[in-house]
Amino acid sequence: MDKNIGEQLNKAYEAYRQACMDKDHAVKELHQKTENYMQQIREQQEKIELQNSIIAKLKSQLAALNANR
C-alpha cells in the first residue's frame, strides 16, 4: 500500500512540476510577445509622426501656393 501512495505522490509531484514549467514557459512567451508588440507600436507611432510632419509641410506649401494666386 505504501508503494502505491509513493507512486501516486511521485506522479502528482511530476505533474505539478511540469505544470510549473509550462506556466513559466507561457509567461516568458507572453512577455516576449508583449515586448515585440510594444516595439511594433513604437515603430508605427514614429511612422505616424513622420507622416503627420509631411502632411503639415504639404499643407503649408499648398496654403502658400493658394495665397499666391
For the stretch 13-69, pLDDT in tens is 999 999 999 999 999 999 999 999 999 999 999 999 999 999 999 999 999 999 887
pLDDT at residue 1, as a whole number: 55
Model confidence at 3: pLDDT above 90:
no
Give the chain's radius of gyration (CA, Å): 30
Model confidence at 2: pLDDT above 80:
no
Please count the helices (runs of H) and the strands (runs of E) in the chain.
1, 0
Which DSSP letter does residue 1 get? Answer: -
Cell 515585440, residue?
A: 36
C-alpha cell at 40: 511594433
pLDDT at residue 47, as a whole number: 98
C-alpha cell at 21: 514549467
Q: What is the dihedral of CA 4, 9, 10, 16, to 10 degrees?
A: 150
